[in-house]
Chains A and B, each alone.
Chain A
């Protein structure tokens, strides 16, 4: 029953954005994040927003998918908005009642921080929506691989991510199976206080741990059998190559960001 879960939030497609090299997307995402943090002007926020909307349209990702990634943000957004509104006391006073004082500076900051959060989450979601987890891991590994000089385990991290992505559905399915087995042995997972409930989870968690260890053991053996010996001398079937499209995307994105920052200056 867990077979249908989609991991990450990849939205399958073949748009120009989908086809960009994952490294391009990751690097431009960093530039975009920097821009979002540097912008301090309502109009320029709208410009960055327009850029994000443009990319969304180009990627042909339905707005509902983007909305879904923004949804969990609502509470934080509200909290940050109110916090900034009440705590920042600069500029003209707009409203005063008892200890509550809302200033023009506070209101501006409240809006800025909200925009920033929305643009940040929306923009990064756009990357995960248009890039498969495996391409993302791949891009990350290759971007970080120069750091191997400093003994940074880029390949190992990417391998860990890949295996995690591969096994999460398997383990969820297994958890479901074990849960059903214990339920049919009269396990009560629904009543009692928090301690009783935690205790009731033991018959599910213990077998799950044991089986995870067994899986890890067997997987290690299978990987060894397939000549796995770390990143040394390893090649890849899919070689990432920057294409003209990547150059174009970088030029447009960086150009726009430069323009926006110039306008601000």
Chain B
């Protein structure tokens, strides 16, 4: 359980990057945090594992206050973070050594690390690459290794800070599929993203703009607020946009999130006519 209580943050001599944001994320949720570049979404992500500390307000992770240095390690163990650039988060020259990096820092005994590393690599389908050098992998494969590195720390929450932004469609599909599986296993997943079609896969979408939270709700209710999304510099996902285009032309279709659903709605609508 993560709670942000009136959190504000400001980088040097700039406008507030986060402005009085309050929200809470329950265990087992699948949440997307969306916003344009500079909306504060990455700043928010870095508050979730004490990489940044709020100027005002409080962030609690599982009841632990992030601003207490005593809690830092415990919080970072609970909240795993995968970043945007696949190249800049792998530390060592061999995949399995890299996955072991987190547990090693936690002081876990060697045999247990071995077990966790094997398990984590299997969970992301990278067992065959255990002995490979990271620079020989594709972007998507590197991100899967990065996720494994987090899993090996046994986190409760996985934060993906635009982790798919630099991937090709195949890499993106692979990462999303793994994330979906992890969520089903009970891990809380928080996806920071610009891709509205990725957000559409989540149970809940939080929209940030200019450091403020402007929307928070399930995809259907968030996507119904087209004006607010536009003002926040965001698009509707292609399927929702298609539906909106038809409704603007005089149809009355419910808000649909995927192609099959929309096709069925159009079909029903045209049968009724």
Hey, which bits of chain A sit against chain B, CB under 8 A? 3, 7, 132-134, 162-163, 165-166, 169-170, 173, 214-215, 218-219, 221-229, 233-239
Complex Cα distance, B132 from A132, in Å, reads: 12
Q: Which residue of B lies closest to A215 (CB)?
A: B88
B136 at the interface (CB under 8 A from A): yes
Q: Are B113's CB and A225's CB within 8 A?
A: no
Interface pick from B27-35, B97-105, B187-195: B97-105
Q: Which of B46, B93, B105, B134 contacts A227 (CB under 8 A)?
A: B105
Q: Given the known inter-chain contacts A166-B92, A166-B93, please indicate yes or no for A225 contacting B51, CB distance below 8 A.
A: yes
Q: Does B149 contact A (CB under 8 A)?
A: yes
Q: Is the CB of A237 within 8 A of B114?
A: yes
Task: Give the shortest distance, in Å, between A175 (CB) and chain B (any CB).
Answer: 14
Q: A162-B93, A235-B107 are in contact. Are A224 and B51 (CB under 8 A)?
A: yes
Residue of B nearest to A221 (CB): B51
| Contact among B77, B88, B153 with A219 in the assembled complex (CB-CB below 8 Å) | B88
A134 touching B88, Cβ below 8 Å? no
Q: With the chains together, A229 CA to B94 CA distance in Å?
A: 21
Indicate if B83 sits at the interface (CB-CB under 8 A).
yes
Query: Which B residues are closer than 8 A to A by beta carbons?
Result: 46, 49, 51, 73, 76-77, 80-81, 83, 85, 87-94, 96-97, 100-110, 113-114, 117, 133-136, 146, 149-150, 153
Rounded to whole angstroms, the CA-CA distance of A134 and B95 in the bound complex is: 12
Q: How far is the CA of A166 from the CA of B107 in the complex (A)?
A: 23
List, in ascending order, chain B residues with CB within 8 A of A134's CB: 92-94, 97
Q: Which 10 pairs across A and B sit closest by C-beta, in order of nearness? A: A222-B89, A237-B100, A218-B88, A226-B102, A227-B105, A237-B113, A169-B135, A225-B81, A233-B107, A239-B110
- Contact: B101 with A226, CB < 8 Å? yes
At the interface, is chain A mostly helix, strand, loop or mixed?
A: helix
* Additional A-B contact list (14), CB under 8 Å, known A162-B92, A225-B51, A234-B107: A134-B94, A166-B135, A169-B135, A214-B88, A222-B83, A223-B91, A226-B102, A226-B150, A227-B105, A229-B105, A236-B104, A237-B100, A237-B110, A237-B113
Output the least CB separation between A59 and chain B (Å): 20
Shortest B120–chain A CB gap in Å is: 12
Q: Is the CB of B76 within 8 A of A225?
A: yes
Bound-complex Cα distance A210 to B20 (A): 33
Considering the chains assembled together, what is the distance between the CA atoms of A32 and B74 in angstroms?
47
Residues of B within 8 A of A226 (CB): 76, 91, 101-102, 105, 149-150, 153
Residues of B near A222 (CB, < 8 A) are 81, 83, 88-89, 91, 146
Q: How far is the CA of A214 from the CA of B92 in the complex (A)?
A: 18
6 residue pairs of the A-B complex, CB under 8 angstroms, read A133-B93, A222-B146, A227-B105, A235-B107, A237-B97, A237-B100
A235 touches B88 (CB 8 A): no
Contacts of A239 in B (CB 8 A): 110
In the assembled complex, which residues on chain A have CB atoms less than 8 Å from the CB atom of B81?
222, 225
